[in-house]
């Protein structure tokens, strides 16, 4: 009987204590402790932490529910004035029964509503998140009883919104001798993020790159340390709807705080991306004339990722791109069937098996990027074959059209992705050939013969005295191009094309050009007629002998061009032709009207005068 009374007494005390605790939690205002909480948080992060409101609810069914509103964490001053973290609301539900009966911290639910994280990488390659991680050994926390003591009247008011980082001074109390308490075992049934945002600003790029991941919805179940946890993620990337879906496994090491990802997979359809947003991030693509719509499916797989206070420690991933399509303004045909396999590690990117179709031909490429976070050393090689010129370039408005099959190879290397880095380090080479070429509605040889009409009766004499083979060529409306080749050298922001050789029926044209990133070009060219054609034309028009070079071939330069690519035009140098025509007429008159013994001295005097005039 005595034991029964004792049991009843103890039971009543427990009931009274439980009721007292319940009433305490129902009536206490947690905002009285907010200043202390924010001070502790600010001290741990080394930056200012603010919170507008803190409240909780307690029930046997739902447990202990803690709610914080409008929480913010200041960013590091060396990176940005923007807040590092802004959080509209956080709800944390604690299982009271597990805490009392099993002495376990079991969190039923954590819901983060509208969190926004601002990540910044400065020009030195440092990331602001790493600066917020405290690297010193944590100071021992005050006793729990002390932490629950409301602030005195001299403390900041209860509605204080933020707390500055506490100074890190040596503790002189006996608490300083205590060892830091170990992180307790924590179990969380579910973690949910709703409508989150991650903003990435990369100041190593020029101009700085800005990328936003919006509408992030994340769900994680059965969380505990040192355990692989299933994670599901949906978000919006450069789109008005959720267009990225990802899933995988996450693990957080209790001892080190390192984060591990494995067997993660994400997919995105490029047709859901707004091209104008892509061009804002990469203005270089706009300058290159990239147009929409974009097509293709990207599948990214992360087999292993490890990150900690030192940043990205290990990464093994691959990106598979299939069914791509891309339109470039300057080209009549789109790049179609684009596919590529990209592997990414913690330091390097390798691009393999790039394939695409262009203008009935094929493009293949490969490349690599070494130390992409800092040095950014890249190389890229590409080949094309069977590309049809008539389908590559829109020539409908041109007076003449070109046809032929292009084949070539290119390689580029450099360091960095800013415009200044390109100008200093970019270099490369290339070679292009065109087979089965033809110029429709343009007879180059006939154009040259017409230019020679500055010499009296030259065209008529040539038409009458040429071999039938060349008469047929002159009568054709087109020009057959036997072979076209060009070698290119890239240095900084300038592409040098030298030499360019166009081999056709009856002539060989040679030239060179320089083009820069601002689409300005300087070019020069000259035409040399075949030896048999040259001899036939000189026989018909003797005055043309003054245009023969050392190889006994008629040499005709073109007027050099310098200006924008859009206005590029080259024609035979009429001044050169006129000068040699006049010279031939003068010499003809000398031979007809000056005594033979005086002809040589007169020609010598005229040559001297010509040199003086040129120098003048």
pLDDT at 368 over 90: yes
Q: What is the mean pLDDT of residues 208-212?
A: 88
Q: What is the mean pLDDT of residues 147-176?
A: 44
* Extended beta strands in 373-478, E state: 377-388, 401-415, 427-440
Percent of the chain with pLDDT over 70: 76
Domain residue spans of the chain? 15-135+184-224, 442-577
What tokens appear for 566 in the block? 């859009």
Average pLDDT, the chain: 80
What is the model's pLDDT at position 550?
87
Main-chain phi, psi angles of 443, to 5 degrees: -105, 100
| Position 523 confidence tier, pLDDT thresholds 50, 70, 90 | very high
CA atoms within 13 A on the CB side of 114: 9
pLDDT digits (tens, 9 = 90+) for 383-429: 999 999 999 988 888 788 999 999 999 999 999 877 677 778 889 99
Helix (H) or strand (E) holding 607: helix 596-615
Q: Which of 36-40, 338-342, 562-566 has the highest mean pLDDT?
A: 338-342
DSSP letters for 15-68:
HHHHHHHHHHHHH--GGGGHHHHHHHHHHHHTS-EEEEEEEEEEETTTEEEEEE
| Residues in Cβ contact with 109 at an 8 Å cutoff, skipping those fewer than 6 apart | 91, 92, 93, 188, 189, 190, 191, 192
Q: What is the mean pLDDT of residues 341-354?
A: 94
Q: What is the mean pLDDT of residues 109-129?
A: 87
CA-wise closest residue to 445 among 457, 459, 456: 459
Where is average pLDDT lowest: 2-11, 84-93, 264-273? 2-11
Question: Taking a C-beta distance cutoff of 8 angstroms, is the pair 337, 355 a contact?
Answer: yes
| Position 449 confidence tier, pLDDT thresholds 50, 70, 90 | confident
Characterize the bridge pairing of strands 349-358 and 507-516.
unpaired
pLDDT at 123 over 90: no
Long-range contact pairs involving 534-540 (C-beta distance under 8 Å, separation at least 24): 536/465, 536/466, 536/467, 536/470, 537/462, 537/466, 539/465, 540/461, 540/462, 540/464, 540/465, 540/466
DSSP state of 179: P
CA-wise closest residue to 70 among 85, 56, 84, 81: 85
Q: What is the mean pLDDT of residues 343-368?
A: 95
Helix axes 574-593, 596-615, angle to 10 degrees: 150
Q: What is the pTM of this model?
A: 0.71
What is the model's pLDDT at position 146?
40
pLDDT digits (tens, 9 = 90+) for 547-573: 888 888 999 899 999 998 778 888 888
What is the model's pLDDT at position 380?
95
pLDDT at 290 over 80: yes
pLDDT at 489 over 90: yes
Helix (H) or strand (E) holding 119: strand 105-121
pLDDT at 269 over 80: yes
Where is average pLDDT lowest: 316-325, 427-436, 460-469? 460-469
Q: 């045909």: which residue's tokens?
A: 333
What is the model's pLDDT at position 147?
38
pLDDT at 311 over 70: yes
| Position 610 confidence tier, pLDDT thresholds 50, 70, 90 | low
What is the model's pLDDT at position 31?
62
What tokens appear for 367 in the block? 């490349």
What is the model's pLDDT at position 160?
43
What is the model's pLDDT at position 424?
84
What is the model's pLDDT at position 440?
93
DSSP letters for 537-606:
HHHH-GGGGGGB-TTS-BEEEBPPEEEEGGG----B-HHHHHHHHHHHHHHHHHHHHS-HHHHHHHHHHH
What is the model's pLDDT at position 172?
41
CA-wise closest residue to 50 among 161, 132, 159: 161
CA-wise closest residue to 196 among 293, 113, 268, 74: 113
* 180 against 268, higher pLDDT: 268
| Position 166 confidence tier, pLDDT thresholds 50, 70, 90 | very low
Percent of the chain with pLDDT over 90: 37
| Position 77 confidence tier, pLDDT thresholds 50, 70, 90 | confident
For residues 463 and 455, give the distance between their C-alpha atoms in angstroms, rounded to a whole number. 14
């Amino acid at each position: 009987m005595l034991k029964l009374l004792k049991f009843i007494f103890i039971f009543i005390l427990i009931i009274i204590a439980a009721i007292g605790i319940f009433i305490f939690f129902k009536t206490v205002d947690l905002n009285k402790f907010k200043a202390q909480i924010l001070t502790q948080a600010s001290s741990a992060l080394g930056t200012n932490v603010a919170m507008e409101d803190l409240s909780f609810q307690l029930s046997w069914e739902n447990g202990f529910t803690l709610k914080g509103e409008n929480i913010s964490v200041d960013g590091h001053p060396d990176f940005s004035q923007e807040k590092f973290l802004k959080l509209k609301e956080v709800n944390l539900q604690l299982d009271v029964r597990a805490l009392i009966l099993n002495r376990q911290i079991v969190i039923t639910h954590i819901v983060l509503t509208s969190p926004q994280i601002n990540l910044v990488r400065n020009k030195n390659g440092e990331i602001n998140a790493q600066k917020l991680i405290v690297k010193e050994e944590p100071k021992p926390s005050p006793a729990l009883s002390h932490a629950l003591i409301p602030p005195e009247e001299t403390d900041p008011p209860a509605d204080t919104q933020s707390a500055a980082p506490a100074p890190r001074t040596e503790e002189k109390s006996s608490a300083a001798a205590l060892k830091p308490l170990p992180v307790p075992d924590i179990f969380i049934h579910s973690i949910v993020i709703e409508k989150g945002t991650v903003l990435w600003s990369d100041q190593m790029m020029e101009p700085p790159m800005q990328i936003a991941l919006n509408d992030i919805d994340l769900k994680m179940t059965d969380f505990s340390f040192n355990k692989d946890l299933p994670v599901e993620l949906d978000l919006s990337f450069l789109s008005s709807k959720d267009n990225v879906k990802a899933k995988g496994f996450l693990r957080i090491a209790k001892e080190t705080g390192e984060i591990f990802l494995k067997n993660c997979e994400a997919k995105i359809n490029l047709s859901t991306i707004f091209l104008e947003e892509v061009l804002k991030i990469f203005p270089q693509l706009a300058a290159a004339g990239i147009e929409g719509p974009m097509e293709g499916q990207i599948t990214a797989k992360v087999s292993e990722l490890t990150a900690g206070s030192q940043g990205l420690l290990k990464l093994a991933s691959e990106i598979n791109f299939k069914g791509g399509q891309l339109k470039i303004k300057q080209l009549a045909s789109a790049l179609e069937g684009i596919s590529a396999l990209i592997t990414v590690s913690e330091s390097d990117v390798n691009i393999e098996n790039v394939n695409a179709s262009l203008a009935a031909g094929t493009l293949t490429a490969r490349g690599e990027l070494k130390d992409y976070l800092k040095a950014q050393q890249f190389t890229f090689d590409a080949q094309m074959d069977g590309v049809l010129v008539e389908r590559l370039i829109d020539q409908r408005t041109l007076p003449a059209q070109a046809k032929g099959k292009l084949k070539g190879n290119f390689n580029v290397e450099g360091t960095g992705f800013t415009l200044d880095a390109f100008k200093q380090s970019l270099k490369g080479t290339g070679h292009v050939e065109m087979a089965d070429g033809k110029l429709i509605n343009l007879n180059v040889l006939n154009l040259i013969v017409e230019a020679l009409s500055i010499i009296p009766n030259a065209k008529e004499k040539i038409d009458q005295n040429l071999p039938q083979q060349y008469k047929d060529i002159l009568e054709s409306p087109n020009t057959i191009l036997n072979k076209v080749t060009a070698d290119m050298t890239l240095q900084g922001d300038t592409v040098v094309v030298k030499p360019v050789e166009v081999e056709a029926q009856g002539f060989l044209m040679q030239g060179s050009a320089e083009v820069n990133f601002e689409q300005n070009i300087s070019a020069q060219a000259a035409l040399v007629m075949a030896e048999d054609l040259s001899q036939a034309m000189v026989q018909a028009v003797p005055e043309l002998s003054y245009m023969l070079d050392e190889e006994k071939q008629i040499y005709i330069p073109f007027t050099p061009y310098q200006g924008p690519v859009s206005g590029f035009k080259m024609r035979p140098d009429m001044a050169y032709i006129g000068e040699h025509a006049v010279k031939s007429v003068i010499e003809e008159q000398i031979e007809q009207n000056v005594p033979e013994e005086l002809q040589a001295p007169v020609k010598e005097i005229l040559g001297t005068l010509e040199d003086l005039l040129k120098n003048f």
